[in-house]
Chains A and B, each alone.
Chain A
């Protein structure tokens, strides 16, 4: 029995002394549902500091206005939310209002959580009060500079941008499609990363009624969060080429035949989506497939052109004559796993041909991956973690630039060239520490070593 289950039982016992057995069972059920919903909302990701207790807050979240620290949302009465009423809890989730009436910074995705149903808010409340252990921990206060330290100012922002209502199922959609929409737009808050933002850092659309910008892909701290619009109408790449089942598989296991999760999304899969039910993941897949793809750009290649280009690259690498520096570096460092056809190995090593990160306008994510490597998450169904090693220690900025330029133009890829200055920038940002070992996305939350 893990800590949470013990707490759930303890909570159940406490309740038993006060009420009938059946309401204790109800409460138990509600705690469980709340825990599941907290997974769907990935609350733990932001409200847990590296090495800290779950939900005890203190993670620094970079924003264009400065560092915003997450709060303690355990039921500790002094430092957490133990004294909050359900109404206060609901106001924080949906309206971004703290129990004392002050505004939360919109790093908290309350514009998305506004869509969460009353029933689910209740279950989440019960879970956080009864199913989470109180932790006394006062995280660092967020102190942005003027004028962003004036929390009242957010009221105007809220008035302008956060007007979403509780989710209403649409009559012309199937129940499953509505469920998918509810999860994606609400607790899943996928738009926080995947919808482009406007001048005031607001998401340009909060649901698919908000237009084509919704989930159309966005640059997130220099890392391309690709478009999640998986319907027809684009250039035939990206989620457009994935089935709903493949989307579900990716969210469940962190990998499928098209891709392996990387960057920020790795932790989302580890802590949130890999714990969702197959039914919910299927609904999410179905919903994303219902959103028409971003229209193809003027210069977009056709599938036939890409296939032809892929064969050409493969032939060149296999012949291994008159190689460019980038081609040679690819053969020496990458081809063992990703192969000359750039297609990797099914579900184990991701394809680079057609890879969203390799083709993104901003190459920083690709450079980051080459320098620091990557570690897929250990998920309940696919626990395997086959890390991609980092190459920062053995490739110079010039070499990484040549390699990245090759990868972005090889096979059917059509990303632009990369120069050494761009590599140097990413290298500097990464710092020394992360260059030798890929960070374990399951981190402290998936303790693997030592005595328990």
Chain B
């Protein structure tokens, strides 16, 4: 019999962005809230200058990331392959400890477009039948721009979002993104400062008729005090953002934006090294009674709770649902079941350009420093004639100038004198043109429980089945051609490129993106979504899953803004309706 803790009103699994936001919202509603975090505690103190500025420790050895031993997924590229567990992190880097990925993210804070949220409706109207792949299973989110807009606005104030407004209540603003959805308020703070590459990209993109704007940033351009009384210092462009805690307290994170405020509340508590292994269900399987976790001493503990919030990383939320038998697991053959369905990702690609006579000073930069344009997203251009749906943010970003990760021409040796010579020759002369592309959902891109591999507690690992599909390969080719046109304007001395073109396969060993989304999609139809439009489990009404796992497919930008907004949206519904009348918030 597991040890049992006193009951709480709500238990939150994972203390990253979603867990911290839920903590604020539910304690404000008067609930007694407990967060369980499987990693270590982390406070601003842990990021005090100059500790994070250590590329070997954080950039290469992944100090802030989950370890495969505790969180490996097994991976295969199609339904017929045998999946093998990760032995080393590569393609994606989920965060570990308090703050989660929100502590080590880069800090690009950007909204989807209104069309992205209703992609299926858009596709039905913009594409002739038969143009799109028939195994594609894209869906609407079930929530609209107008419903989420106030939550984007609030979350962006929490983060001190810095950038240039493009569309204020329908009025297009000079210098911003003319294709963004209408904002009810301008960006809280002005954009970050420009660098050599942003100016070059801006000029070339404009020459080609595009509409570049500064990357929307949660590395703040000015000192900021947010609605919770939390504070961020102005970014000093040290270049240690992605994979690092911020030594200048300038990057929005649960630590800088929420946690001190949350910890002041007497109805909030959290436990670290508390690894939740499953949600416990009542006998009828219709409600959760709490969660079971393994504490720091390896002891199993039952934590009773009236509400369970799964706010862990998207992959782990799906795994917890599967291991807890919440919702019907997805079966790719019969295309029935919902948990594990519609796993999606992000596709990247880019051109590395080298200019012998230009010093880019890459060491003086913020993670989000860069320019992008949104001229190629669903609805802003006609992709039907090219045979694909989706889009890409086209950008030149200069996220860091750390030496080990410096881009070198493909021809450069990987070690020894040749490597050092190439590093000396090329450091500071590199500029990248990139695409960050959408990834649709497909019948066979999915998550389920691995039949073979188990974790140290005997629980099955999550199995990921994923590969690049024709739609994304066509999209990549199209975007590559556009980026080549920009490179032609800029005329580098040397360049090389990498894109996921026809015939390419997903590679788990090299970094792609930590934008793993889907697997517990949200929606309005319980036969195709695991949670309803309020992020509530269709099957177990006191389980909510505010997470990237709710995306039915991925759009062409970074997910954090949407995850934050969805979490506030979910919390609002819990506060306004669910607490008064606990039960399903949507009828089947």
Q: Chain A interface (Cβ within 8 Å of chain B)?
A: 2, 253, 333, 336-337, 345-349, 373, 375, 378-389, 437-438, 446, 448-452
Contact = CB atoms under 8 A, between A and B. Distances in A.
Most buried by A among B44, B263, B270: B263
Given A336-B238, A347-B231, A348-B231, A387 B48 contact: yes
A448 B259 CA distance: 10
Nearest to A440: B45
Given A348-B224, A383-B260, 17 more contacts: A336-B236, A336-B238, A345-B234, A347-B225, A348-B223, A348-B225, A349-B233, A373-B48, A375-B45, A379-B229, A385-B44, A386-B231, A389-B50, A389-B51, A446-B263, A451-B34, A452-B269
6 contacts: A348-B249, A382-B225, A385-B260, A386-B231, A438-B45, A448-B263
A87 B325 CA distance: 67
A336 B49 contact: yes
A348 B223 CA distance: 7
B261 interface: yes
B132 interface: no
B251 to A, nearest CB: 12
Given A378-B264, A451-B269, A345 B229 contact: no
B269 A437 contact: no
Contacts of A452: 266, 269
Interchain residue pairs A-B with the least CB separation, the first 6 = A389-B48, A384-B231, A345-B223, A383-B260, A383-B261, A452-B269
Among A333, A379, A448, the most chain B Cβ lie within 10 Å of the Cβ of A448
A406 B270 CA distance: 44
A78 to B, nearest CB: 30
B381 interface: no
B511 interface: no
Contact of B44 (A346, A380, A387, A449): A387
Contacts of B34: 451
Nearest to B98: A449
Contact of A383 (B48, B229, B271): B229
Nearest to A448: B263
A336 B248 contact: yes
B190 to A, nearest CB: 15
Contact of A446 (B230, B248, B256, B264): B264
Nearest to B269: A452
Main secondary structure of the interface of B (DSSP, over half): loop
B587 interface: no
B228 interface: yes
B55 interface: no
Interface in B261-293: 261, 263-264, 266, 269-272
Contacts of A389: 48-51
Contacts of B138: none
Nearest to A332: B50
A contact patch SS: loop
Contacts of A450: 269-271
Interface string B37-64: 0000101110011110000000000000
A451 B231 contact: no
A384 B269 contact: no
Interface residues of B, number: 36
A389 B52 CA distance: 12
Contact of A337 (B222, B248, B261): B248
Contacts of B236: 336-337
B248 A437 contact: no
Interface string B202-235: 0000000000000000000011110011111110
Contact of B229 (A336, A346, A382, A437): A382
B5 interface: yes
A346 B232 CA distance: 10
Interface string B509-551: 0000000000000000000000000000000000000000000
Contacts of A451: 5, 34, 269, 271
Contact of B41 (A253, A373, A381, A449): A449
B249 A380 contact: no
A389 to B, nearest CB: 4
A336 B237 CA distance: 9
B223 A384 contact: no
A347 B270 CA distance: 29
A450 B263 CA distance: 11
B269 A386 contact: no
A254 B274 CA distance: 34
Contact of B230 (A2, A336, A383, A449): A383
A381 to B, nearest CB: 5
Contact of B233 (A337, A381, A446): A337
A446 B263 CA distance: 8
A385 B256 CA distance: 8
A373 B51 CA distance: 14
A446 B264 CA distance: 7
A437 B45 CA distance: 8
Nearest to B226: A384
B231 A378 contact: no
